[in-house]
Amino acid sequence: MEDMIFYDRLQFAFTITFHYIFPQLTMGLSLIIVYFKGKYLIKKIEKYNDIAKFLMKIFAINFTMGVITGIPMEFQFGTNWAKFSELTGSIIGQTLAMEGMFSFFLESSFLALFIFGEKLMGQKLHFLTGFLVFLGSWGSGWFILATNAWMQHPVGYEILDNGKFVLENFSSLFSNPWLLPAFLHNQFASVVTSSFVVASIGAFYILRNKNLEYGKLLLKTGVVFGLVSSILLAFPTGDWNAKNVAKYQPASFAAMEGIFETEEAGAEIVLIGQPNMVEKKLDNKIAVPNILSFLTYQKWDKQIPGMDQFKQEELPDNIPALYYSYHIMVGLGTIFIGIMGSAVFFLWRRKLFNMKPLLWFIMFLVPFPYIANITGWYVAELGRQPYLVYGLLKTSEGISPTVSSGNTLFTLLGFVAIYLLLGLLFLILVGKTIHQGPKPQTH
């Protein structure tokens, strides 16, 4: 049984990690595309329109890869997690169906119109199609997060005698107190990723002395969007999410913060430390006293329950992974604010375009927002363990009993091979698009 659970979780973790490389860019990039298209409508300067169409090509490649890698996850609900689907399908099936019927088709339909229909529709309708692509991509995020929010903090449900969950109040799915902060945090995180991608393309053009006019505009826009979104990612959305975890999942909060023992006079915030699961402590710890209590409750001496206050079965089953994922996410987010803040400062001083070390740094920093996004999702999912539906349905109760661990491992190896090829194809296509650059409008 433990092997089955391990391989089922490993396969889903691998497929969803690879899949989320693509939506986190499309959601944020759609907003930046709408910005450039809107600027073109206002200022009638062609370079804004050229960049909007150029970025939509990158969006389209990511969208296609997202669709391809998203389909296997839907099937895994039926193959590896059949019992979970059987018990909760009447609830999570509704939000997942709405994501497909409303948001996905809205996004895909108007994506084609944006790419191919500019001359036919005119500029105002072309802007509208871009806005609807943005609306569809963020709508997808909303419905997916509504599903996850119910799993993190179940509301509006009833459990029947046969163990199935049914929805008592449909509106409660979207008024869930977990949903809005999680959605906003997730969307601003996607904007951070997109901002770094846009800024890095601009830095690349400037360093190569190619497409300089476009490069400067891409870099300028990327660092401004990056600074604003990085700040909003930390506060208020990150703060709001952390307070939700402290309120609704206190055992997870203690684990991700590394609080092994309850401190009577306020909890410290840990900057560095390694969880020692044998001695139940943090090794080589560097911490600031009472700060965590103040950040969480605005009271310096407020007690925060440590892991010693919970039964072993109530704690997450991989505390080191949760702890490290959380601290990697927070650490990278802090670095992003510093880097983008420095870039905006030098932009204001009119020195940014000539600062080659900083441009190189921005360009090679591109993978790290992806890492921060993915570790952020690891925090959410590892923190919910050992439950699929927090406090109600354990992970061990949701797997498919007829699918052996050998079958799951075999298909996992197949996914690894196929996704490696897809990843190489994606890099080739995006690299070729960036190499070609924005194309000036021809009349």
**Would you call 10 exposed, middle or buried from its count of C-beta atoms within 10 A (0-12, 13-18, 19+)?**
middle
Model pTM score: 0.96
Instruction: Identify the band that residue 74 occupies on the pLDDT scale cut at 50, 70 and 90.
Output: confident
Q: Supply the mean pLDDT for the chain.
A: 95
Instruction: Identify the band that residue 100 occupies on the pLDDT scale cut at 50, 70 and 90.
Output: confident
Tokens representing residue 342 in the block: 């420095």
Nearest C-alpha neighbor of 54 from the set 215, 223, 225, 220: 215
Instruction: Identify the band that residue 353 occupies on the pLDDT scale cut at 50, 70 and 90.
Output: very high
Nearest C-alpha neighbor of 111 from the set 59, 74, 154: 59
Tokens representing residue 59 in the block: 């969006």
Return the amino acid letter for 25. L
For residue range 18-55, what is the model confidence (pLDDT) as tens digits? 999 999 999 999 999 999 999 999 999 999 999 999 99
The per-residue pLDDT for 442 is 62
Separation in Å, CA 41 to CA 34, 127, 164: 11, 8, 52
Return the amino acid letter for 292. L
Instruction: Identify the band that residue 224 occupies on the pLDDT scale cut at 50, 70 and 90.
Output: very high
Separation in Å, CA 330 to CA 13, 81, 327, 365, 381: 21, 31, 5, 16, 16
Instruction: Identify the band that residue 102 occupies on the pLDDT scale cut at 50, 70 and 90.
Output: confident
Asked if residues 290 and 296 have their Cβ atoms less than 8 Å apart, the reply is no
Contacts of 56 (CB under 8 A, 6+ apart): 33, 111, 114, 115, 130, 133
Instruction: Identify the band that residue 115 occupies on the pLDDT scale cut at 50, 70 and 90.
Output: very high
For residue range 243-270, what is the model confidence (pLDDT) as tens digits? 999 999 999 999 999 999 998 888 999 9
For residue range 385-441, what is the model confidence (pLDDT) as tens digits? 999 999 999 999 999 988 889 999 999 999 999 999 999 999 999 999 999 999 887
